[in-house]
Each structure stands twice: as C-alpha cells, then as structure tokens.
Amino acid sequence: MKTCCLCEASAGIPFQQIDGRHCWRCQHCQATWLDSQHHLCAQAELAEYQLHENNLHDSGYLDFLTRISEPLQNRLQPGAEGLDFGCGPGPLLAQMLEEAGFRMHKYDPY
C-alpha cells in the first residue's frame, strides 16, 4: 500500500490507470492522486501553469468552476472544511464555497 499524500495513512491502493499513468485511492480519506513517477518537473509544471489565466470576470471560467462547486456543495456536510490547492491569485472556487458556508484554505505554489 502507498502512503496517502493527504492524510499520510498507509492506505493507498491502485485506483485507475489513465493514459498509462497510475492513480491511487486512499481507503482512509478517499483522496485520489497521481503516482509521483508521473508528476511534472518544477519547470514543466510552471510552464503549464502559465498557459492559463484564472480571470474572475471570465464567464467561461465561472461556468467551469460552477461545474465543480455545485456537486461539492451537494455532497459535503454543512460547514465542511476544504483546500483550494492551486487557487492562483483569484481564488474564485474558494470564494464560491465560502459564500455557501464552507471553511476554505487557499494555497498556490506560484
């Protein structure tokens, strides 16, 4: 079993393979992650990151986040806590969930 990258339990089991890349699922917290052998190097990650702009005034971006936010709101317990990892300079997803009553933490490596 793999160590979970979120809760650190030794409970990661093979979950799925997508385009030859292995994903794991934690039996303890249900986190799902890509095997580290498939992670981008720091330079490639930054280059990919710089290809898009999270513009809060872009209706397409808002629609994209709504497709994530609404199912989350329907499945999470009221007042649940979450992490918007990679939120960028305009953490709209975190803002949407905070407005719905969830406690959010924001993190962006760049």
List Cβ neighbours of 92 (8 Å cut-off, separation of 6 or more): 54, 56, 61, 62, 65
Distance (Å, whole) CA 3 – CA 24? 10
pLDDT of the residue at 17? 92
At residue 101, the 3 state secondary structure works out as coil
End-to-end CA distance of the chain: 31
Report CA torsion sign: 51, 54, 55, 59.
positive
pLDDT tens-digit readout, 69-95: 998 999 899 999 999 988 888 899 999
Per-residue burial over 34-45, b = 16 or more CB atoms within 10 Å of its CB, e = otherwise: eeeeeeeeeeee
pLDDT tens-digit readout, 11-30: 999 999 999 999 999 999 98
Residue 102: pLDDT band with limits 50, 70, 90: very high
Distance (Å, whole) CA 42 – CA 29? 27
Question: What is the value of pTM for the model shown?
Answer: 0.63
Q: Which residue ranges make up each domain of the chain?
A: 1-39, 42-110
